Amino acid sequence: MSHESQYTLKRITTDDQAKNEREIHHEAEVVIIGAGILGCALAVALGDQGRSVILLEKSLKEPDRIVGELLQPGGVQALEKLGLRDCLEEIDAIKVYGYDVIYYGEEVRIPYPENAREVEDGEAEESNTDEMRGTKRKRPEGRSFHHGRFIQRLRQKAIQQPNVSVVEATATDLVRSGYDDQILGVQATVNGESDSFFGGLTIIADGYNSKFRKEFRIDEPVRRSKFWGLELIDADLPMPCHGHVVLGEGAPVLLYQIGTHETRALVDIPDNLPSASVAAGGVKGHLKNVVVPSLPESVRPAFEAAIDRDRLRSMPNSFLPPTTNKTPGLILLGDAMNMRHPLTGGGMTVAFNDVVLFTELLSPKEVPLFENTTLVRKQMRTFHWRRKGLTSVINILAQALYSLFAADDAQLKALQMGCFEYFKLGGQCVDGPVGLLGGIIRRPFVLFYHFFAVALYAIWIYITSASLLAMPLRAVGSVGVFWKACVVIFPYIFSELRT
Ligand SMILES: Cc1cc2nc3c(=O)[nH]c(=O)nc-3n(C[C@H](O)[C@H](O)[C@H](O)COP(=O)(O)OP(=O)(O)OC[C@H]3O[C@@H](n4cnc5c(N)ncnc54)[C@H](O)[C@@H]3O)c2cc1C
Ligand SMILES: *[C@@H]1O[C@H](CO)[C@@H](O)[C@H](O)[C@H]1NC(C)=O
């Protein structure tokens, strides 16, 4: 029997029969590996479209991780589109209205911009000047929370969706067709025993350390630093309901509340940092000697208490540009396919927006049968390019901002200072960058524009802040600063142009 006639038979079966297919024969239209941020949302969205879905997850226990705790407004909007917004309720989530950037002790508030309207390609962007602030119009909001609580809410939604079967199983291998290498499903360990699950489409969403990615692409994620996480209790933050970015001599520190009493601190520590070497007292030494003095005074007591109390935990900060997958029957999504530095908290926003776009481009109307691998691949090429309006912005911004915020040479430090002074100008100089970061403005050109505006402003300050005598020298040096700005951003722009 051909794939198609098999499928037609399946289509005329009732939902109960589809459920039997899943639970007895382990057959569905889609098998998803990983009930994380992306896998759960996608399973629910596909189930809502009437697809029969098997979702495999190695552990259904509430995860305890230091990732995925701040959801940008652009992610909240996508969750809403997916009908999953109530997953942000009953988890003691905290509203986020924007950022507080603290540069050598000086603060600048960066609220999410007025006007939650999505700016689509080609449309003129409305001006969001300071004069409009303080009016009653609703501003977009983000949310921060305990990752594990949010994941459990998402998983609950998947379990409740009648077209989805969630199975606690660890995927171990892919099932390949004998003659054309098409992927037919997944081999997994369930309760210690080996089992198989089959689908017209297999989706890999097993996260940052994807076991399966390695079989389909040769390049590895690039890592320059790790985030070390601490949980502060009853910390006194300078600006409640805002994410805090602390900049100074070292790499950036993030602080944001994740519950009524809990605040997450993420400390970026570049690989091979001397002040975190064993001789200098390791990570604990670095936290005590370098990080604590750089923090706002009000935060220090809770931070110091956490150093002494907590088990130190870390996660690699990876960069992995997106690629299209060419294997029939298979799709990689989420962190398995694309990662950027978590400095800007963009990963979940990318994941939820990808689910929205995916279910549009591969809806039952567009792609009636996932077995039609040619059509699926065609739609996935469209997916690859169309997602860039949002994701290339988030990816490039995260990497470029990290380079500036972790400045370790004179030129980067000039750019870092220029960036902070640019934010201080307010108006468009704040609304643009934070609109991009929040997943609200989806136009790569706006990023390009602000990045080079920062570079030129940095050069202006660099030259004019010098004494009259040193100015000519600085003018020459400014070429280096401009060159550095190009070196910071162009590799990431090019990485977005790959197929
Ligand atoms: C330090 C750090 C902080 C971050 N902070 C933020 C933030 O504040 N905001 C934000 O938006 N993003 C943040 N991110 C990024 C965000 O966490 C990810 O982009 C997001 O979780 C990706 O979702 P995913 O579904 O691809 O992967 P995950 O959410 O990691 O889910 C993968 C799932 O697959 C399961 N799995 C793995 N292997 C198997 C297997 N073999 N069989 C079955 N199941 C398997 C795992 O158990 C897990 O449940 C951060 C990342 C890091 C590193
Ligand atoms: C489940 O799928 C069927 C089609 O097989 C669809 O008619 C139904 O609406 C779906 N159920 C839900 C709750 O989304």
pLDDT per position as a tens digit, 332-344: 999 999 999 999 9
* 12 has a pLDDT exceeding 80: no
* 2 has a pLDDT exceeding 80: no
Is any atom of ligand 1 closer than 6 Å to the C-beta of 335? yes
- The stretch 229-258 carries a mean pLDDT of 96
User: Quick one: tokens of 33?
Assistant: 């590996």
Closest-lying ligand 1 atom to the alpha carbon of residue 348: 11
pLDDT interval class at 16 (50, 70, 90): confident
49 exposure class (CB count in 10 Å sphere: 0-12, 13-18, 19+): middle
Is any atom of ligand 1 closer than 6 Å to the C-beta of 433? no
CB-based contacts of 444-449 (< 8 A; 24+ apart in sequence): 444/388, 444/389, 444/392, 444/393, 444/396, 444/496, 446/125, 446/393, 447/393, 447/396, 447/397, 448/489, 448/493
Percent of the chain with pLDDT over 70: 93
Element (H, E) at 230: strand 222-233
Distances (CA, A) of 478 to 7, 459, 484: 64, 6, 10
State the Cα torsion 79-85-89-95 to the nearest 10°. 60
- Range scoring the smallest mean pLDDT among 14-28, 89-103, 111-125, 424-438: 111-125
Mean pLDDT of the chain: 92
- The stretch 69-73 carries a mean pLDDT of 98
pLDDT per position as a tens digit, 181-212: 899 999 999 999 999 999 999 999 999 999 99
What angle do helix axes 410-424 and 428-437 make, rounded to 10 degrees?
A: 110
468 exposure class (CB count in 10 Å sphere: 0-12, 13-18, 19+): exposed
Q: Which ligand is nearest to the CA of 364?
A: 2
Is any atom of ligand 1 closer than 6 Å to the C-beta of 167? no
- The stretch 204-221 carries a mean pLDDT of 95
Give distance in angstroms: CA of 36 to centre of ligand 2.
Answer: 23
Of residues 252 and 124, which shows the higher confidence score?
252
Q: Where are the alpha helices (DSSP H) in 342-443?
A: 347-361, 373-386, 388-405, 410-424, 428-437
- DSSP 8-state class, residue 62: P
Instruction: Give the binding-site residues of ligand 2, using a 6 Å CB cut-off.
Output: 15, 18, 47-48, 50, 162-163
Tokens 């970026």 found at: 268
Give distance in angstroms: CA of 45 to centre of ligand 1.
Answer: 18
Give distance in angstroms: CA of 53 to centre of ligand 2.
Answer: 11
Protein residue with least CA distance to atom 4, ligand 2: 50
Would you state the pLDDT for residue 127? 40
Would you state the pLDDT for residue 57? 98
- The stretch 357-372 carries a mean pLDDT of 98
